[in-house]
Amino acid sequence: MNSTFHTPVLVQEVLLFLAVQKDKTYIDATIGGGGHGFEILKRDGIVLGIDVDEEAIDYVKKILRDKDIKILGEKYDSSLNISLSQYPGITLVRGNFKDIARIVQGTEFERVEGILFDLGVSSMQLDTSKRGFSFQKEAPLDMRMDQRLHVKAMDLLNGLTKKELYELFTKFGEERFAHAISGGIVSTRGIKKITTTKELAMLVEKIAGRRHDIHPVTKVFQALRIAVNDELHNLELGLTDSVELLNKNGKLVVISFHSLEDRIVKRTFLRFEKEGRGTVITKKPVRPSQKEVFLNRRARSALLRVFAKA
Ligand SMILES: C[S@@+](CC[C@H](N)C(=O)[O-])C[C@H]1O[C@@H](n2cnc3c(N)ncnc32)[C@H](O)[C@@H]1O
């Protein structure tokens, strides 16, 4: 497999918690480059891999083709707007994990031993400049994970009021300079629309200044990405429906990359526990080793939590 696509994080830890068994079913709700999904497949688990990003699904299909694994069938479900491709041992669905309950209806994945969510963007999404996820590369401010969505980051940036921008940067970015940044955006776009990653990065740097290693536009990008993809809402829906799909002692494993996501995971797991649905196995989130962070910088903010179904 092309390792430059995406280096999966916390693989050993995920596998330890999932304890994959031959011929049992598992859902990788964010298949991305297939990093975790193929590890489950290698251990003879039967995998349902979901992703909203057409390029991710195409990439995994290409890996399967390169391995000479033949497609068994394909279908499109217009009511859910999902396409499903079936291979021996793995089924791929281009769809949103918020629809997980409906996606698995009538399939062998209605009950599973484990479900993995590896949130955030993949390295391929970050590295493909036209997607607009990275402020390191000049590109149109797009940020849609699902190419079928209509609203791009630039639409929010140029269309929301100053107050709405302020709320967005505060709520989804916990950005200290939200007030000054939203003001600066509104004045700048009065002269010329802000449409590219670098234009936004330079504007925010001018307003907020550079104080440390982390670029001052990081949280503004995070906030826009969360809003464009409705990420926090999708996560709540996806987790809530996933717990229903687990067999007794089945595991829900979630890797998040920032505190807003992690807070939702932590609270949802505690709610499940209170409702008597099982046990939170990780009282504190599991973090990658120093070695992993050294080898893969994207791993540095990863937080893994696990819930076991009663
Ligand atoms: C960090 S990557 C996953 C990488 C994968 N575990 C691997 O090792 O290759 C996250 C993936 O989740 C997908 N994604 C994000 N939100 C989603 C959603 N609501 N439904 C389905 N997929 C989603 C993204 O498109 C991206 O490909």
The residue whose CA has the least distance to atom 12 of ligand 1 is 30
What's the gap in Å between 141 CA and the centre of ligand 1?
19
82: containing domain: 11-124+231-309
* Crossing angle between the packed helical segments 178-191 and 162-173, to the nearest 10 degrees: 140
Give the global pTM: 0.96
Point out the domain boundary residue: 228, 260, 288: 228
**Which atom of ligand 1 approaches the CA of 31 most closely?**
5
Judge if 105 and 236 occupy the same domain.
yes
Instruction: Please report whether residue 129 resides in a domain.
Output: no
**Would the CB of 122 count as within 6 Å of ligand 1?**
yes
- Residue 155 belongs to a domain: yes
Domain CATH for 270:
3.40.50.150
Question: pLDDT (tens digit, 9 = 90+) per residue, 29-79?
Answer: 999 999 999 999 999 999 999 999 999 999 999 999 999 999 999 999 999
Does 48 lie in the same domain as 167?
no
Ligand 1 center–CA 119 separation, angstroms: 6
CB distance 24 to ligand 1 below 6 Å:
no
Q: Give the other-Cβ count within 10 Å of 199's Cβ.
A: 18
What is the predicted pLDDT for the residue at 5? Answer: 67
Whether residues 105 and 118 share a domain: the answer is yes
130 within some domain = no
Atom of ligand 1 nearest to the CA of 56: 27
- Is the CB of residue 96 below 6 angstroms from any atom belonging to ligand 1? yes
Q: Is the same domain home to 139 and 188?
A: yes
The answer to whether residues 202 and 261 belong to one domain is no
What mean pLDDT do residues 223-241 have? Answer: 98
Contact call for residues 273 and 143 (beta carbons, < 8 A): no
CB of residue 123 inside a 6 A radius of ligand 1 = no
Q: Report the number of distinct structural domains present in the chain.
A: 2
The CATH number of the domain holding residue 185 is: 1.10.150.170
Tens digits of residue pLDDT in 77-89 = 999 899 999 999 9
Please tell me if the CB atom of residue 53 comes closer than 6 angstroms to any atom of ligand 1. yes
Q: Please give the structure tokens belonging to residue 254.
A: 């979630």
- Within this chain, do residues 72 and 218 fall inside the same structural domain, yes or no? no
**Going edge to edge, which strands form the sheet with 246-256?**
73-77, 82-87, 90-94, 46-51, 25-28, 112-118, 246-256, 303-309, 278-280
Query: For a substitution probing ligand 1, which of 51, 92, 234, 253 has the most ligand atoms within 8 Å of its CB?
Result: 51
Answer with the one of 196, 228, 260 that is the final residue of a domain: 228
Domain boundary among 189, 213, 228: 228
- 4: confidence class by pLDDT, cuts 50, 70, 90: low
With contact defined as beta carbons under 8 Å apart, do 150 and 235 qualify? no
Averaged pLDDT for residues 150-156: 98
Same domain flag for 160 and 193: yes
What's the CA gap between 4 and 282, in Å, rounded? Answer: 30
C-beta 39 within 6 A of ligand 1: no
For the Cβ of 157 lying below 6 angstroms from any atom of ligand 1, the answer is: no
Helix (H, G, I), strand (E, B) or coil at 56: helix
Are 99 and 219 contained in the same domain? no
106-126 confidence digits (pLDDT tens):
999 999 999 999 999 999 999
